């Protein structure tokens, strides 16, 4: 069913779910109402908005999305995703709700906090308040406002001061489509306190077939001298629309690295903002987006250098086949007081067919005068000489193409510290493009 007034539809949907929120703290209900009001104020984006120039939101606006209902997923279906979850404790959410039977805290250091929002709201609501009411840096994004208004549950991770977590923490968000198009709003918060270290693996996947909308909202905060490594894998089904928002707050002398691998959904949009809020803060934000026939993927990054002596590195790679389209928009902002900033950004794209299309827009906005900043973009096809070389040694053309593509993507996938997770990602990349692994 199509709708003529999406703002009214979502506002009425919010009102209809009031009973389900009964018993929540007053501050949370107030934050939700502020968020839905902000959504109505901003309005549903259109192609006239510069940020949506290359991704048409009209097909999303015209669908009467309903809140995703509670659903169950079998252990066998989760295992079929091939994720090495045994490597660390994990929380699994289905349609935005904690699936306790699929989650495990085995091996979790007792000093760490790994809990769902629901669990903390029942036992320690004050621990969440400052995080769930915050709107920065997505106060001007309509879909982020929807996520703040409609989130049913989420994950909260706290790594205490000077603690080094040896095992990765997994946050898995599964969508189970129903008979009607439904929307879920996964959310999580990671707080790495001063001088701590942690690895976070985030996964979004679909179980079953059908249309569904996912609007994730996440926040990772790296305290002074902390080190956080984060990997996000998005492999939702062909009927999915994924509109992700991720914020990274990096304090004095902290280091945060984030690697995104986007493989699924008919339309995937990733809006990432890194705020370097302390002197000497460092971040590395890398991504690999893979699209096949009919897919549309839009990656947007903002790295905001607010303090001096900051360092940022970005490498984004796209592999597009069939009639697919990719967009990369990367913005680096250097504030007036952020002297001695060192920022580098690069976007490389590989087109595997004449129907594939890419729009690449790296941008610099520099207000300081003692900085070292660079950006660049390339678009090309596979090297014919390299294909010829492999074929001359008995490798078929399809396998040669797959091998070279894997080599192109490896500069991103090799940044995944877990060997088992890295191998799974690489196999998914090749399966997405070629429906099989190369034979050599």
Is there a contact between 391 and 382 (Cβ–Cβ < 8 Å)?
no
70: DSSP letter: P
Count of CB atoms situated within 10 Å of the CB of 326 = 28
Q: What is the dihedral of CA 16, 22, 28, 30, to 10 degrees?
A: 60
88: DSSP letter: S
Partners of 141 in the β-ladder: none
Read off φ and ψ for residue 315, nearest 5 degrees: -135, 115
Q: Which residues are within 8 A (CB) of 314 and not within 5 positions of it... i.e. 6 or more apart?
A: 284, 285, 286, 301, 303, 330, 332, 344, 345, 346
pTM of the model: 0.96
Residues making up the chain, counted from first to last: 440
pLDDT of residue 401: 87
- SS3 call for 141: coil
pLDDT of residue 440: 36
* Low-confidence residues of the chain: pLDDT under 50: 437-440
Partners of 90 in the β-ladder: 104, 170
pLDDT of residue 392: 84
- SS3 call for 50: helix
pLDDT of residue 398: 82
- SS3 call for 384: helix
Alpha-carbon distance values, 287 to 71, 290, 299, 384 (Å):
31, 10, 9, 25
Is there a contact between 250 and 218 (Cβ–Cβ < 8 Å)?
no
137 preceded by cis ω (within 30°)?
yes
Query: Can you tell me the distance from the alpha carbon of 134 to that of 153, in angstroms, rounded to the nearest whole number?
Result: 16
Q: What is the CA angle 286-288-246, rounded to 5?
A: 55
């Amino acid at each position: 069913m199509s709708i003529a007034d999406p703002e009214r539809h979502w506002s009425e949907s919010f009102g209809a779910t009031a009973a389900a929120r009964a018993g929540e703290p007053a501050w949370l209900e107030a934050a939700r109402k502020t968020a839905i009001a902000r959504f109505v104020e901003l309005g549903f984006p259109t192609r006239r908005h510069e940020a949506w120039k290359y991704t048409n939101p009209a097909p999303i606006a015209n669908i009467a999305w309903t809140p995703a209902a509670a659903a169950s997923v079998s252990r066998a279906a989760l295992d079929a995703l091939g994720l090495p979850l045994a490597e660390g404790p994990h929380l699994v959410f289905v349609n935005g709700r904690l699936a306790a039977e699929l989650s495990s805290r085995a091996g979790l250091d007792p000093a760490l906090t790994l809990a769902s929002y629901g669990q903390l709201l029942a036992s320690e609501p004050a621990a969440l308040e400052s995080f769930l009411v915050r709107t920065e840096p997505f106060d001007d994004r309509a879909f982020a406002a929807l996520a703040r208004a409609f989130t049913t549950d989420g994950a909260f991770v706290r790594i205490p001061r000077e603690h080094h977590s040896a095992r990765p923490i997994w946050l898995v968000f599964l969508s189970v489509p129903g008979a009607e198009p439904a929307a879920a709003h996964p959310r999580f918060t990671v707080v790495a306190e001063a001088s701590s270290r942690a690895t976070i693996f985030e996964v979004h996947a679909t179980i079953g077939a059908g249309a569904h909308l996912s609007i994730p909202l996440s926040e990772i905060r790296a305290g002074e001298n902390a080190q956080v490594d984060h990997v996000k894998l998005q492999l939702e089904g062909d009927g999915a629309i994924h509109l992700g928002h991720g914020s990274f707050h990096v304090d004095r002398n902290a280091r945060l690295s984030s690697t995104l691998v986007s493989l699924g959904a008919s339309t995937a949009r990733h809006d990432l903002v890194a705020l370097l809020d302390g002197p000497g803060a460092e971040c590395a934000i890398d991504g690999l987006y893979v699209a096949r026939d009919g897919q549309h993927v839009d990656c947007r990054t903002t790295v905001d250098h607010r303090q001096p002596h900051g360092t940022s590195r970005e490498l984004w790679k796209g592999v597009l086949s069939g009639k697919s389209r990719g967009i990369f928009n990367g913005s680096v902002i250097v504030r007036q007081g952020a002297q001695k900033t060192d920022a580098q950004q690069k976007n490389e794209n590989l087109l595997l067919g004449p129907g594939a299309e890419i729009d690449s827009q790296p941008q610099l906005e520099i207000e300081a005068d003692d900085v070292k900043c660079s950006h660049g973009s390339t678009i090309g096809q596979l090297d014919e000489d390299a294909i010829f070389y492999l074929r001359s040694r008995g490798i078929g053309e399809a396998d040669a193409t797959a091998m070279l593509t894997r080599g192109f993507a490896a500069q991103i996938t090799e940044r995944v510290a877990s060997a088992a997770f890295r191998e799974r990602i690489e196999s998914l990349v090749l399966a997405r493009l070629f429906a099989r692994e190369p034979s050599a």
